[in-house]
Amino acid sequence: MIKPHGSDELNPLLVTDAAENQKLQDEAKGLKSLTISSAAAGNAVMLGGGYFNPLTGYMNKADILSVAKDMKTSSGLFWPTPVVNMVQDAGDIKAGDRIALKDPNVDGNPVIAVMDVEAVEELSGDEMVEVAEKIYGTADTEHPGVEAFLTAGNVAISGPIKVLNYSYFSTDFGDTYKTAVEIRDEIAKRGWNKVVAFQTRNPMHRAHEELCHMAMKRLEAEVLVIHMLLGKLKKGDIPADVRDDAIRKMVDLYFPENSAMVTGYGFDMLYAGPREAVLHAVFRQNMGATHLIVGRDHAGVGDYYSDFGAQEIFDEVPAGALELEIFAADHTAYSKKLDKVVMMREAPDHKKEDFVLLSGTKVREMLGNGEAPPKEFSRPEVAQILMDYYQGLES
C-alpha cells in the first residue's frame, strides 16, 4: 500500500484515548483560550484526521515563508501551502504557553485542540502579500482565498497541537465525513492496490462522472474515492449537504456496486489553483490513494489560473517527493457526433458546436427556473435534486 507523505506510518493528531481526551478537555478550562479562524479550525481537523501527515501543528514564520517560496519547510519537507493559525492580535499569548483553541464554527465555541505555543511572530504587510502571491498567484482581494488569508490577521501562532474533535464535520456529515485513517483502513481491508481519488466542491455532472469512469478504466483501478470538500465555500457555491445528496444519487444509479466510495473531508476551500492541487495530492496520498484526477482549472476560481496550470505545477514537484501520481485530464464534454462524453483533446475533428457545452451561469439559471439541463450534460435524477435546491432559494 502507498506510504503516507513524509513518514512510514500515518500519525493523526486526534487524541483517541477517551480518558486522555477528557483530561485535556478538563485542563483546557484553566488555560488561556483563543477562538481561531474557520481556516485554522479546518487545519486542526485535517491534522487530527491524518490528512496533513507528517505535520505536528501550525507552521512558524520561517516555514510559512519557505513553503510559499519553495514548496518545502525550513527542514526540507515537501509541502505546497502553509498550514497556519493566523490572528489579528495574540493578546498575552506568548512562546511557552499552553493554550486552548476554540472552534468558531460550533455553537458555544467548544475547544477543538490544545496547543503548545512555540512562537508568536508577526508577518509584515509585504510578507503577507508575498505569501499570497506565491500561494494564490495574486494578491487581489477579489480572490476569495486571498481575501480570507489577508483578513485573518498577520500574527502567526505556531506549535504542536493535540486535537480533541472533528468540529461539526463528524456530526453534520456522519455518513460522508471520513478521516484519512478511516479511508486508508478501508483500502487496506479491501486489499485495493490502485485507488483513484476525485476531488470536488461541486455536484458532479455527466462529464465528471464519465471522467471518473475513464480514469478507472485507463488506470485499471479497483475503486474510485469521490472525496468532497465539506467546509466553507465562496458565496454561490452549492452547500455540502445538497452536493452530497446529488453525488450519492449519481453513484447509486450510474456506478457498479462497490466501485465508488462517497466520502468527504473537513477543510475550507482555498481556491488556490495549482498550489491547492498539489495539496490535494499530498493528503490523498495520506488517505491511501495512488492516483488523483487533475482536470482543467483544478481548484481554481474566476480567471486567475491557466486552464492546465494545476497539471503543469507537478513538473515542479521534486523527484521522489510524492508517491501518488496524477491522472491529467482534459476538459470533458458530450460529443453529439460520437454520442458519448469524451476528452475534447481526443476529438480533434470536432468543432465547438459538436459538443454540448453550458456555462455554470446558464446551468444555474436553468435549474432556478425549474428547467433540467440536457440529459447529455446532467443526469435527470441529479438535476432534480439541484432544481429543488435552487427553487427553494427563491421561495
Q: Give residue for cell 435552487.
A: 390
Catalytic residue among 21, 109, 202, 248: 202
Residue reference for cell 457555491: 237
C-alpha cell at 12: 493523526
What gap in Å lies between CA 69 and CA 80, rounded to an integer? Answer: 9
Which cell is 254 given? 450510474
- Catalytic residue, candidates 201, 243, 284, 296: 201
The CA distance from 326 to 290, in Å, is: 8
What is the separation of C-alpha 210 from the centre of its chain, rounded to a whole number of angstroms?
A: 21
Active site residue 202: yes
Does the active-site annotation cover 201? yes
Report, as residue numbers or ranges, the catalytic residues: 201-202
